A and B are shown apart, each in its own frame.
Chain A
Amino acid sequence: MNADAIDLDVRRETSRGLETEEMTLNMGPQHPSTHGVLRFVVKADGEVMRRAIPDIGYLHRSIEKIAEKVGYHGFMPYTDRVDYVSAMQCNQGWAMACEKLAGIEVPRKGEYCRVIACEFGRLASHLLSVGATGMDIGAVTPFTHAIREREYINDILEELCGARLTFNYMRIGGCAWDLPPGFVGRAVKFLDRFEPLIDEYNELISFNKIYVERLANVAVVSREMAIAWNLVGPNLRGSGVKYDVRKDAPYSVYPEFEFDVPVGTGERGTLGDSYDRYMVRMREMEESCKILRQALAGVPEGPVVAKVARMFKPPAGEVYVRVEASRGDMGWFVVSDGSAFPYRVHIRTGSFAAMAIIEELSKGLMIADLVAVIATLDIVAPEVDR
């Protein structure tokens, strides 16, 4: 029998004997490597996914409905819970929406405190993201390194406002507390220690061959796809779109600081792959450190909060405010009818879009890569469900 015939026989055998049927696999809602409570129904052909259908809503706490019941000041602690991994920017989004409705000017020192708090929040959030990415694809050690540094940031933020996760630091018109005595010195000391650690972390994991292989060329999001699916923040920039709300639609005192907007370049694979999204976050941490150094060096004197009536009644109207949260452009749509309670609040978050794109992205991926995709899209379930 010649070789071709054998080959044909083998092929016939395989097509008869190993015929596979579509398998439905349930992942979640309590899967350890999904970020928060979320669920996927995976349609798989062997190890390859035909598609992964996200099923969300497990963490829906009707935050938008609560806003209509608790009033403007009272809603501030709830904004922490929208994205509890980087609550500072949620605070800021809500405060800015209210200030815009009522035309309130925030004192300069208040803006500086906000920027300092938000950038520390971004560092903490990105550290959790890059650490968890490692853990999701099987590298546990980097996670402990990232969390170790994150604890120091939590200490700093605790000094600022007394809480480590859900800060409730900002108020309509400014911030709740001034910087405590000696805060600037300690924060700079932390940055001196932290900045070299970013390089160390990169050497430990980012350029590790196995790690690169797991992320490069996986789940590529093209520029057009990212825009049409409304990906925002690091996910968008990972696809090579240089857009950052802090730069392109500036708010607060961000225009006073010099920083770059890192974008993906396809350095280890294709532009817009998981590695690019991961690397954008690593580089953004360096930029946050730059902003922090400038902000800490230039904290002005004065009050941190403007005088705002305790019974806050903004004039009737509607605003749409955007802030650059850790997971990107966060939109706050607030409608006021002139009463003490918001008429309607809608929060558009970065993770919502990132979650929506997964069904499209998962086609043809290995099942094991799904967690890598969730991790590098930096999905935080409470932010999806609100």
Chain B
Amino acid sequence: MDIAEIHRRLRERLGNIVSPELEVKDWSLCDVKPQSIAEVCTILRDEPESAFDCLSNLSAVDRKSADTIEVYYHLFSYQHGHRLTLRAATPRPDPILPTVSHIWPIADWLEREAFDLMGVRFTGHPDLRRILMPEDWVGHPLRKDFVEPEEYHGISTRRESLLKL
């Protein structure tokens, strides 16, 4: 079964929760209502015709102009060899999404990374804490409005330009 057919069935079953398919540079993408992302992912993993047994990647993008943070879920099926990308947009001031870490265990760390660098909070995540940045870091560095702190524990983050010395 091809991706268009899987997508059509998903729309039939869930209605407007899933948007019509968008074709972006030869991969298929569809928008999903943020509160339903875990439900959609469970269906996509468990239905034998889709069988997305692997979450290849989870990336968060700060869309400052639209005032949203978009989270991309790149799904892959080793069984069928097809892939599909889901996109969930969540409001920028308070980005909250349900976790998918109970569906694919790797999502545990990928969601921690998205939380650490982009500030997306995943409800139901077993252990949502920083993963790459130090525990006491303030802010989420990949946000477009992130301001680099002047210093960290007394270590200055500024330096004079070599040309001015």
Residues on A close to B: CB < 8 A?
Answer: 56-57, 60, 62, 64-65, 100-101, 224, 227-230, 241, 243, 248, 317-320, 322, 329, 331, 333, 335, 343-344, 346, 348, 352-353, 355-356, 360, 385-386
B132 contact set on A, CB distance < 8 A = 56-57, 60, 385-386
A60 contact set on B, CB distance < 8 A = 132-133
By the criterion CB–CB under 8 Å, are B56 and A348 in contact?
yes
Chain B 142-162, CB-CB to A under 8 Å as 1, else 0, gives 100000000000000000000
Chain B 76-111, CB-CB to A under 8 Å as 1, else 0, gives 001001000100000000000000000011101100
A57: contacting residue among B24, B85, B108, B134, CB under 8 A: B134
Q: What 16 additional pairs, Cβ within 8 angstroms, besides A319-B25, A352-B109?
A: A60-B133, A64-B117, A101-B25, A227-B54, A228-B104, A228-B106, A230-B55, A230-B106, A317-B24, A317-B25, A320-B57, A320-B72, A331-B74, A344-B61, A356-B105, A386-B132
By the criterion CB–CB under 8 Å, are A335 and B61 in contact?
yes
A344 contact set on B, CB distance < 8 A = 59, 61-62, 142
By the criterion CB–CB under 8 Å, are B131 and A230 in contact?
no
A248 to B81, CA, bound (A): 8
By the criterion CB–CB under 8 Å, are A227 and B53 in contact?
yes
By the criterion CB–CB under 8 Å, are A318 and B106 in contact?
no
Query: Given A57-B133, A333-B59, are A320 and B27 neighbors across the interface (CB < 8 Å)?
Result: yes
Which range contains the number of B residues in contact with the other chain? 20 to 34
B61: contacting residue among A56, A57, A248, A343, CB under 8 A: A343
Query: Given A57-B132, A64-B142, A344-B62, are A230 and B104 neighbors across the interface (CB < 8 Å)?
Result: yes
A385 to B55, CA, bound (A): 19
Complex: chain B residue closest to A355, CB-CB:
B109
Q: Which 3 A-B pairs have the closest CB atoms?
A: A346-B59, A230-B106, A348-B57
B72 contact set on A, CB distance < 8 A = 320, 333
B104 contact set on A, CB distance < 8 A = 228, 230
B109 contact set on A, CB distance < 8 A = 352-353, 355-356
By the criterion CB–CB under 8 Å, are B57 and A228 in contact?
no
By the criterion CB–CB under 8 Å, are A62 and B56 in contact?
no
By the criterion CB–CB under 8 Å, are A320 and B74 in contact?
yes
By the criterion CB–CB under 8 Å, are B106 and A241 in contact?
no
By the criterion CB–CB under 8 Å, are A230 and B74 in contact?
no
By the criterion CB–CB under 8 Å, are A360 and B105 in contact?
yes
By the criterion CB–CB under 8 Å, are B105 and A243 in contact?
no
* B139 at the A interface (CB under 8 A): no
By the criterion CB–CB under 8 Å, are B141 and A62 in contact?
yes
Complex: chain A residue closest to B81, CB-CB:
A248
B130 contact set on A, CB distance < 8 A = 57
